[in-house]
Amino acid sequence: DAGVIQSPRHEVTEMGQEVTLRCKPISGHDYLFWYRQTMMRGLELLIYFNNNVPIDDSGMPEDRFSAKMPNASFSTLKIQPSEPRDSAVYFCASSSSRTSGGGTDTQYFGPGTRLTVL
């Protein structure tokens, strides 16, 4: 089975440019999570979806960040305009409510997108 797929794996852009990160969750999973990882702040949850609907976006740092999930097999995280402080590794994870504990106990992570904003 394919795991969570993220693209691109690496992105280098200049300040002010728009950046779009993409994620394909594991087929059949109904929860999708976006995280950001930095040395200073560790792993932060940005937003999560259930059945394509955003449930909690309280971790989204600013209006420059937006996330969508148009269907069960695709999600995007967009930063517009990007700033150097957005440089981080962005992870997408998915899980299924059909697992034990009512869901989200086991989150499957993608390999991440390393974003560098110059």
Partner 1 sequence: GNSVTQMEGPVTLSEEAFLTINCTYTATGYPSLFWYVQYPGEGLQLLLKATKADDKGSNKGFEATYRKETTSFHLEKGSVQVSDSAVYFCALRGGSNYKLTFGKGTLLTVNP
Quick one: which of 106, 104, 97, 53 has its CA closest to 75?
53
Residue 84 has what DSSP assignment?
G
Q: Which two tokens stand for residue 8?
A: 């691109």
- Count residues contacting partner 1 (CB under 8 A)? 24
Residues 67-96 that bind partner 1 (CB under 8 A): 91, 93
Q: How far is CA 5 from CA 19, 56, 59, 70, 75, in A?
A: 17, 22, 22, 16, 11
Among 24, 25, 31, 32, binds partner 1 (CB under 8 A): 31
Question: CA torsion, points 111, 28, 59, 80, in degrees to nearest 10?
Answer: 70
Q: Is 112 in the site for partner 1 (CB under 8 A)?
A: yes
Q: Is 25 in the site for partner 1 (CB under 8 A)?
A: no
Q: CA–CA separation, 95 vs 49, rounded Å?
A: 10
Q: Is 56 in the site for partner 1 (CB under 8 A)?
A: yes
Taking CB under 8 A as the binding criterion, the range among 19-27, 62-70, 73-81, 104-112 that sits at the site for partner 1 is 104-112
Q: Which two tokens stand for residue 39?
A: 């040395």
Q: Give min distance, CB of 91 to partner 1, in A.
A: 6
Taking CB under 8 A as the binding criterion, the range among 20-28, 50-58, 62-70, 73-81 that sits at the site for partner 1 is 50-58
Which residues make up the interface to partner 1 (CB under 8 A)?
A: 4, 31, 33, 42-43, 45, 48, 50, 55-56, 91, 93, 100-101, 103-112
